[in-house]
Amino acid sequence: GESVGLHLPTLSVQEGDNSIINCAYSNSASDYFIWYKQESGKGPQFIIDIRSNMDKRQGQRVTVLLNKTVKHLSLQIAATQPGDSAVYFCAENNEVGGFKTIFGAGTRLFVKA
Amino acid sequence: EAQVTQNPRYLITVTGKKLTVTCSQNMNHEYMSWYRQDPGLGLRQIYYSMNVEVTDKGDVPEGYKVSRKEKRNFPLILESPSPNQTSLYFCASSLTGWDSPLHFGNGTRLTVT
């Protein structure tokens, strides 16, 4: 498959456990945050998003938490499955500077069966 | 099926031979963008377009051109490719560009010898 990044931070979890992936974002003016999942050989895929006027949002098996005070974002995956193995990126958007999306370096999640 | 389609998936070329990577989306999205993904450097934006006939530079535009003559298409042009443009390229689109998630194509692996 495609190599999406060498020396990425890695998280290894047992199947069925909960996973928490953390991200520090850079710009206090950012007002929209997204988590993407990238599987080998594919493009990043949207998982969940959150706007700056919220501090928590839940989806199916996933929860995103936003702490604006310390510029921290986290993705929680409940009951992690082998199909969750991938690289996860956080991303931040803001209108300042021309509608750019800034991506984090990514975290590689391994799920042990 | 809603998707972003880019072609080709794999391309090997020689220095200086002009090439075009095509990108098309069927979601009527206003915003389209090109990224390159390199190990250790993550996803970096090359060019983006807010609408037809409106394009702007991202973080790494040197050596690339784009055009947006139609809403659905956003080709990436390398007029004179060089080996440092060997990379994995992704096209993406979103409804608005700043408060909606990106939809990515499956990537184009370009090798310039």
In sequence order, which residues have a C-beta less than 8 Å from that of residue B98 and are 6 or more positions away?
A32, A93, A94, A95, A99
A75 close to A35: Cβ distance less than 8 angstroms: yes
pLDDT exceeds 90 at position A23: yes
Q: What is the pLDDT of residue A101?
A: 85
In sequence order, which residues have a C-beta less than 8 Å from that of residue B84 and are 6 or more positions away?
none
Q: Is B97 on the interface with A (CB under 8 A)?
A: yes
User: What does the pLDDT average to over A80-90?
Assistant: 96
Contact A6 B40 (CB under 8 A): yes
Tokens, residue B80: 């004179």
Contact B39 A103 (CB under 8 A): no
What's the pLDDT tens digit per position in B46-102?
Answer: 999 999 999 999 989 999 999 999 999 999 999 999 999 999 999 999 998 778 999
Residues of A in contact with B58 (CB under 8 A): 100
B45 close to B54: Cβ distance less than 8 angstroms: no
Sheet of B76-78, strand order: B4-7, B19-25, B76-78, B65-66
Q: What is the pLDDT of residue A88?
A: 96
Contact B99 A43 (CB under 8 A): no
Q: Is B66 on the interface with A (CB under 8 A)?
A: no
Residues of A in contact with B2 (CB under 8 A): none
Q: What is the pLDDT of residue B103?
A: 97
